Amino acid sequence: MSASAPYATIVELARALRGGHTTPTALAEQYLDRIEQLNGKLGAFKRVTPERALAQARAAEAEMSAGIDRGPLHGIPYAAKDLYDVAGVPTTAGCPLLESNIAERDGAVIRKLNDAGAVLLGKTVTVQFAYGGAGINNQHGTPHNPWHREPHLPGGSSSGSAVAVASGMAPMALGSDTGGSVRIPAALCGISGLKTTVGQISRAGVFPLSWSLDTVGPLTRTAQDSALSYRAIAGPDPDDDSTRNYHRADVMSGLDRGVAGLRLAFAETVFFDDADDEVTALVRATGDVFGKLGAQVSSIGFQQAQQAVELNPGGLVIAAEAYTLNRGLLDSHFDELDPVVAHRMIKGAQTPAHEYLRVELEWRALRASTMRQLADVDALLCPTVMIPATPVAEVAQDMSRYSERNLQCLRNTAIGNILNLCAVTVPCGFTSGGLPVGLMIYGKSFDEATVLRIGHAFQQATDWHLRNPALDWV
């Protein structure tokens, strides 16, 4: 494989393309070869689309040769979580029963990436119906976290997308985040992941889980790459009502401004409670980095986080909406579904309407309170996931252990969905066992520009994001 791949960033690949050091077709072929080499062991891709990839790569190459430049993603390969509609390809949402669910056209985000000249390599494995934080899929297979020879949890639900990027099978992959499904796998697999504010990116053509909470976001090697990807796919869409609230934001112009003078605060209450000691130490140590970069670093008692946990008993809203959206399959094929998902989702049928509506109303008040609390803070800092990745074997055959681990994965991230915050996770170190730890940078609603700026500044000052798994066991 050329020097520009497989662990190059989008920025580096774009520079190599424009410098004549590689071509879109060569890049596509190199990543397809790497997928063929690694995917049998890592299980990141559900379906590879080589014909489409090579056709798009050749088209990008012809355009670039003719002097047409569609921007930094032109000719760049990427992968899409198997929730995204791709014309002529099944959208299975991690469920074998949906193999005949063939998309008639590309979804909104895929169309935007087509317009940007990006090259789709294929679709990645997801937790069934995107309903789980640990990353388990008992039917399509659980992707193998590349940082350990023994199968460890990749995080979910965008498990395959994270493994694909972390192992160098793609420089960017699309995910979705309803309770942490971009950030959890990004953190556990040692890459960057952006959780966007509801309404910033269209969800049209993305298999839904919760209309209240679903968001779309990229998993990349760096926060800078996340910013480039975000800029390409954000914007209003008449097919998604939530994007009527779209706030146009220039995430690139201020990306290199650093953090001098910014007010950053460790979010106390809940986020650090019962967290793994090594995770806590590595996240706390980021305060020294930001301090040296000129940021004002403090701590605040963020009580809204505790209230968010209390207002999310059993994931009540997600369960109710997920059951509503998937009722046909749950009622008719319950025993044919992945048990780690079906037994959680079916509880949504028991949610009284008055309870669902009460929680929704209380969330609105809590979100308003949160914005007032954060008026004097530019961003919050906390662990993305309270524990590092653990062996799959610990939870594979034990529903109670799975439930415990799943909640540990989701706790810190789900709070941000409830409060409608945006966030980026970036790697901030490794445990003594060699497993990555993620720092979560929470920002106010629609303030993706600030969290990406902070994440980029941190990565300019550290090298955790430059480390790659050995994969000598594959």
Active-site annotation holder among 46, 112, 123, 157: 157
Spell out where 144-285 has E strands.
172-177, 192-195, 215-220, 263-268
Active-site annotation holder among 4, 158, 181, 229: 181
- Give backbone dihedrals phi and psi of 383, rounded to 5 degrees, phi first: -65, 140
Structure tokens at 26: 């060569």
DSSP letters spanning 177-196: ESSSTTHHHHHHTTSEEEEP
**Alpha-carbon distances of 199 from 75, 214, 237, 452, rounded to whole Å:** 27, 9, 9, 18
Question: Does 181 participate in catalysis according to the annotation?
Answer: yes
Terminal alpha carbon distance of the chain: 17
Beta pairing class for 119-124 and 192-195: unpaired
Element of type H or E holding 278: helix 277-292
Counting runs of H as helices and runs of E as strands, what totals does the chain give? 14, 11
- Whole-number Å distance between alpha carbons of 86 and 337: 23
Rounded (10°) CA dihedral 277, 281, 283, 288: 170
Structure tokens at 222: 């760096």
- Whole-number Å distance between alpha carbons of 237 and 92: 24
Contact at 8 Å (CB) between 228 and 460? no
* Helix 50-65 × helix 24-42 angle, to 10°: 160
Element of type H or E holding 430: strand 422-430
Active-site annotation holder among 81, 112, 195, 444: 81
> 429-468 in b/e burial notation, b at 16+ Cβ within 10 A?
bbbeeebbbbbbbbbbbbbbbbbbbbbbbbbeebebbeee
Question: Does 81 participate in catalysis according to the annotation?
Answer: yes
Structure tokens at 334: 């319950």
- Whole-number Å distance between alpha carbons of 346 and 331: 9
Q: Which residues are catalytic?
A: 81, 157, 181
